[in-house]
């Protein structure tokens, strides 16, 4: 990311990564909680249909988290977001809660000013992807409680952690996708 736009978007990216990290740390917490509330002795084997249902939903969440950037936002929506010259007020809203002033925006060229407008898309997409990955851990927690065995939380937590690491928030791919659409 060029230094001017990196300086402007840096605070938003850092806040988004803090939210991602909070969701990441929740996954091991679910595993510990499942260990604490499940009986010491492994429970009965759960019905295969229940296991298949939970596994299918977990894989669906993983697929959604990994493919979300390819399908959302559409190129048409992205072009509409970066297609107009934003006002300073609109830029301030896009970068909220970061402080925005003329000194911060001064070095940005017109294309970079338009690219700043994708910040809310980045933020919501990154948090949604992390929440989908966290949902896998929640499924494991619920399944461990229903089955009565802590061991069932392990594969769900492992998959959730893997997906969470794969969806680490990076704004650069979105900027590169939007840059050709932001030309004046």
DSSP the chain: --HHHHHHHHHHHHHHHHHHHHHHHHHHHHHHHHHHHS-SS--PPPPHHHHHHHHHHHHHHHHHHHHHHHHSS-HHHHHHHHSSPPPHHHHHHHHTTS---HHHHTT--HHHHHHGGGHHHHHHHHHHHHHHHHHHHHHHHHHHHHHT-GGGHHHHHHHHHHHHHHT---SHHHHHHHGGGG--
Which residue segment(s) compose the domain that 135 sits in? 3-182
Tens-level pLDDT at each residue, the chain (184 residues): 556 777 788 888 999 999 999 999 999 999 999 888 877 666 667 788 988 999 999 999 999 999 987 777 887 888 888 887 787 777 777 777 766 666 666 777 778 878 888 888 889 899 999 999 999 999 999 998 888 888 889 999 999 999 999 999 998 888 888 888 887 6
Give the pTM. 0.85
Domain count for the chain: 1
């Amino acid at each position: 990311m060029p230094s001017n736009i990196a300086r402007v978007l840096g605070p938003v990216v850092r806040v988004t990564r803090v939210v991602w990290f909070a969701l990441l740390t929740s996954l091991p917490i679910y595993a510990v909680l499942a260990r604490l509330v499940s009986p010491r002795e492994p429970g009965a084997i759960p019905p295969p249909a229940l296991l298949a249902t939970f596994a299918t939903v977990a894989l669906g969440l993983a697929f959604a988290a990994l493919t979300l950037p390819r399908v959302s936002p559409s190129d048409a929506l992205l072009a509409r977001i970066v297609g107009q010259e934003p006002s300073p007020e609109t830029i301030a809203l896009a970068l909220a809660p970061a402080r925005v002033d003329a000194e911060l925006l001064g070095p940005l060229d017109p294309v970079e000013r338009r690219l700043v407008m994708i910040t809310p898309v980045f933020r919501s997409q990154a948090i949604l992807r992390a929440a989908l990955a966290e949902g896998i851990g929640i499924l494991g927690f619920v399944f461990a409680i229903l089955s009565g065995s802590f061991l069932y939380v392990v594969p769900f937590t492992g998959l959730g952690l893997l997906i969470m690491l794969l969806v680490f928030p990076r704004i650069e791919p979105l900027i590169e996708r939007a840059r050709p659409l932001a030309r004046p």
